């Protein structure tokens, strides 16, 4: 075969595969190049796939340009591990189906292809013994997996989230599934109204999430402990949490609140009404910083969603809110007295300790709201008020001490003035 014909055939085959593939799922966007010139991986120095594709230009070259960053290539795998063929063969012979070349895998084939290694503990143990090997099994239980099994090739598969050419390690901050990148990765499909239209599901989740306290922690403050989509929905086995499992999902982090909720009257009521626990008051994706205003019998309290102002629930909500407000008011008053004494130069360390304890009681009382136990909330709040009063007493004692010192100063200065005057008169008399 003449060289021109050989290149033309190669371009036709690869290009055709690209065209077929482009009608299925949107793949995760490739990470930005690590450097303007991507060096060929050492392990694939003589890899004819990379050597040829790099010189093809355009989208045929794209898979080869940054392949050195791929976690698999870094671990010694070549293109043939996924695409078959013989990378040692020069030229188009490398893509000979007789040598196992399969070309670009179809979406439905991807879980099986990735799973051929990632579901095999024997294989994975050699590379990363800590990595789970049930991803594919869980994927098959997910909404994505189930739809894929039913022939829907638009749903997410492995590369939709993990990217491809290169597939980066999850711990790589450029990976689409690095914690801070997960919301944007999911949003590529789930915030696309056109793409999600056939499924009839909302596309506001991402915008809602970005307004949440969780997004604030994860995306603005960079706290990787804060939840992204996968922390509540699961990652490989992604499904919306069911009504009965919401509290368990939230309790992954907020276990104390869940324990209090479980023993509250709301637990049975919500169950009977088919309401999804935590999200009734806190919403789901747009979970904002909770405030005391959420409790009460008037707007903007969330209690009024179910309770009227004069109902038993409304009265209880008002009582709880009053206990919290009393404690806050007591703390504010004590803080003001302590600050005044401190600004006047008094050491208020002893007063700050009960104030700090009162703050702890406020946090405790706020948490106990989830139990809806009036007695427990009031007990915690009353203890906090007592601590605040103790701090305020110490602050007032400090102010009294300042008053005493200033009066003492006036007296001392008066005595000194008399003394100085006496001395001056004596000097005058001597001079005369």
Partner 1 sequence: MSLGTWLEDRLKWRAADDFLRHKSVPINRHWYVYYFGGITLFLFIIQVVTGLLLLMYYRPTAEAAHESVRFIMAKVPFGWLVRSIHSWAANLMVFWVFAHMFGSFFVRAYRRPRELTWMSGALLLFLTVGFGFTGYLLPWNTLAYFATKVGTEIVGAVPGVGHFLLVLLRGGEDVTQATLSRFFGIHVAILPALMGIILALHLFLVQLHGMSRADERGPGRAYAFVPQFVLREAIVWVITIGVLAALAVLLPWPVGEKADPLAPAPAGIKPEWYFVFMFQTLKLIPSHVLGIEGERLGILGFTLAALVLLAVPMLDRGDQKTRARRIALMIGVFAVLYMAGMTIFGYLVP
**CA of 145: how far to CAs of 110, 111, 136, 197, 389, in Å?**
11, 9, 9, 19, 60
Q: Is 285 exposed, middle or buried (0-12, 13-18, 19+ CB in 10 A)?
A: buried
Is 416 a binder of partner 1 (CB under 8 A)?
A: yes
Minimum distance between the CB of residue 417 and partner 1, rounded to whole angstroms?
8
Is 423 a binder of partner 1 (CB under 8 A)?
A: yes
Is 192 a binder of partner 1 (CB under 8 A)?
A: no
Is 309 a binder of partner 1 (CB under 8 A)?
A: no
With contact defined as beta carbons under 8 Å apart, do 34 and 163 qualify? Answer: no
* Residue with Cβ nearer partner 1 (224 or 405): 405
Structure tokens at 179: 């914690």
Is 33 a binder of partner 1 (CB under 8 A)?
A: no
Structure tokens at 78: 């070549």
Minimum distance between the CB of residue 338 and partner 1, rounded to whole angstroms?
14
User: Which positions ≥6 away from 167 have C-beta within 8 Å?
Assistant: 70, 71, 72, 159
Question: What three-state secondary structure class fits 288?
Answer: coil
- Of 1, 202, 339, 413, the residue at the interface with partner 1 (CB under 8 A) is 413
**CA of 217: how far to CAs of 26, 171, 251, 415, in Å?**
28, 19, 18, 62
With contact defined as beta carbons under 8 Å apart, do 21 and 47 qualify? Answer: no
Is 19 a binder of partner 1 (CB under 8 A)?
A: no
Minimum distance between the CB of residue 401 and partner 1, rounded to whole angstroms?
9
User: Which positions ≥6 away from 68 have C-beta within 8 Å?
Assistant: 38, 39, 40, 41, 74, 166
Minimum distance between the CB of residue 397 and partner 1, rounded to whole angstroms?
11
Structure tokens at 248: 């368990």
Residue owning tokens 């005595």: 415
Is 5 a binder of partner 1 (CB under 8 A)?
A: no
Structure tokens at 365: 């009382």
- Of 12, 193, 201, 419, the residue at the interface with partner 1 (CB under 8 A) is 419
**Contact mark string toward partner 1, 318..347, x via CB under 8 A:** ---------------------------xxx
**Contact mark string toward partner 1, 366..405, x via CB under 8 A:** ---------------------------------------x
Is 126 a binder of partner 1 (CB under 8 A)?
A: no
- Of 37, 272, 430, 432, the residue at the interface with partner 1 (CB under 8 A) is 430
Minimum distance between the CB of residue 388 and partner 1, rounded to whole angstroms?
20
Q: Please report, as ranges, the residues that interact with partner 1 according to CB under 8 A.
A: 345-347, 349-350, 405-406, 408-409, 412-413, 416-417, 419-420, 423-424, 426-427, 430-431
């Amino acid at each position: 075969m003449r060289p021109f014909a050989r290149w033309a055939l190669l371009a036709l085959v690869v290009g055709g595969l690209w065209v077929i593939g482009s009608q299925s799922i949107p793949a995760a966007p490739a990470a930005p190049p690590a450097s303007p010139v991507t060096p060929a991986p050492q392990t694939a120095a003589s890899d004819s796939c990379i050597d040829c594709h790099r010189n093809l230009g355009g989208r045929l070259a794209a898979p080869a340009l940054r392949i050195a960053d791929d976690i698999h290539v870094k671990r010694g795998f070549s293109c043939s591990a996924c695409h078959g063929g013989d990378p040692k063969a020069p030229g188009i012979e490398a893509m000979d189906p007789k040598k196992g070349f399969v070309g670009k895998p179809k979406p439905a084939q991807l879980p099986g292809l990735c799973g051929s290694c990632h579901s095999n503990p024997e294989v994975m143990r050699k590379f990363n013994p800590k990595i789970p090997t049930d991803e594919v099994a869980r994927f098959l239980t997910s909404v994505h997996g189930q739809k894929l099994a039913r022939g829907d090739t638009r749903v997410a598969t492995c590369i939709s989230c993990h990217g491809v050419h290169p597939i980066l390690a999850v711990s790589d901050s450029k990976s689409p599934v690095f914690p801070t990148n997960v919301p944007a990765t999911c949003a590529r499909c789930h915030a696309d109204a056109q793409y999600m239209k056939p499924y009839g599901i909302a596309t506001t989740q991402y915008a809602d999430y970005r307004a949440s306290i969780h997004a604030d922690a994860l995306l603005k403050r960079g706290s990787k402990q804060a939840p992204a989509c996968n922390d509540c929905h699961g990652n490989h086995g992604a499904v919306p949490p069911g009504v009965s499992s919401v509290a368990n999902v939230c309790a992954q982090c907020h276990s104390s609140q869940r324990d209090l909720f479980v023993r509250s009257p709301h637990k049975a009521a919500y169950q009977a009404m088919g309401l999804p626990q935590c999200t009734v008051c806190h919403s789901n994706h747009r979970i904002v910083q909770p405030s005391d205003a959420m409790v009460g019998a008037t707007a903007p309290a969330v209690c009024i969603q179910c309770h009227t102002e004069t109902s038993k629930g409304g009265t209880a909500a008002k009582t709880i809110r009053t206990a919290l407000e009393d404690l806050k008011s007591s703390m504010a008053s004590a803080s003001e007295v302590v600050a005044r004494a401190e600004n006047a130069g008094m050491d208020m360390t002893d007063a700050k300790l009960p104030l700090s304890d009162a703050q702890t009681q406020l946090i405790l009382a706020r948490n106990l709201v989830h139990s809806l136990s009036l007695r427990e909330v009031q007990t915690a709040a009353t203890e906090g008020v007592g601590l605040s009063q103790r701090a305020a007493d110490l602050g007032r004692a400090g102010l009294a001490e300042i008053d005493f010192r200033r009066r003492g100063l006036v007296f001392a200065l008066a005595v000194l003035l008399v003394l100085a005057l006496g001395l001056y008169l004596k000097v005058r008399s001597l001079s005369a």
